[in-house]
């Protein structure tokens, strides 16, 4: 770590960040665990909570206000009628990523409740839980060089894997020729 990076990491205005995952219900836990797995790989602390914007609005509000005092990115996981993402975003200045679980129940049309938001409400919508985790880590890596390095390694591994797959296919095509 360079002197500059050490200074940034220890600077009093830079706080270690974390991701707060708010689920609409316990049925969203499997989807959320996919997010947590990638966050763990990237060295990003996370906390998972359940608070429906429909059923326990005040609890949801209190959680948002409790965690926004820290350096956080919220990821909301709610299907069907996703009021959670819009509500969370409207109540905080922190970044919010909506990552609704896919469901065949409504032919996938429930996604529209995550995409259409009123003015001044702008959660990002990322459908893949791994990519939602990566996006949150990239936001936090702006102030944490340790996370930034892990993101670079993560992305480089993906590129290396793709190159390996390409070479395997090329070699397989040559053998058939």
Instruction: Tell me if 140 sits within 8 A of 71, measured CB to CB.
Output: yes
Q: How many domains does the chain have?
A: 1
- Domain coverage including residue 156: 3-176
- CATH number, domain of 34, equals 3.40.50.1970
pLDDT in tens, the chain (177 residues): 554 455 555 554 456 899 999 999 999 999 999 999 999 999 999 999 999 988 988 999 999 999 999 999 999 999 777 899 999 999 999 999 999 998 777 777 777 778 888 899 999 999 999 999 999 999 999 999 999 999 999 999 999 999 999 999 988 876 766
This prediction has a pTM of 0.85
């Amino acid at each position: 770590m360079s002197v500059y990076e050490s200074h940034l990491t220890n600077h009093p205005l830079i706080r270690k960040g974390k991701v707060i995952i708010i689920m609409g219900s316990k049925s969203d836990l499997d989807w959320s665990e996919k997010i947590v797995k990638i966050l763990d790989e990237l060295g990003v602390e996370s906390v998972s909570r359940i608070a429906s914007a429909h059923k326990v609005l005040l609890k949801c509000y209190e959680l948002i206000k409790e965690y926004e005092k820290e350096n956080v990115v919220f990821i909301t996981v709610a299907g069907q009628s996703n009021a959670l993402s819009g509500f969370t975003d409207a109540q905080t200045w922190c970044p919010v990523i909506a990552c609704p679980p896919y469901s065949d129940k409504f032919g996938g049309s429930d996604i529209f409740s995550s995409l259409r938001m009123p003015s001044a409400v702008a959660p990002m919508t990322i459908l893949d839980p791994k990519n939602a985790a990566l996006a949150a880590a990239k936001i936090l890596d702006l102030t944490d060089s340790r996370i930034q390095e892990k993101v670079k390694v993560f992305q480089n591994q993906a590129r290396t894997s793709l190159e390996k797959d390409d070479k395997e296919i090329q070699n397989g095509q040559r053998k058939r020729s």
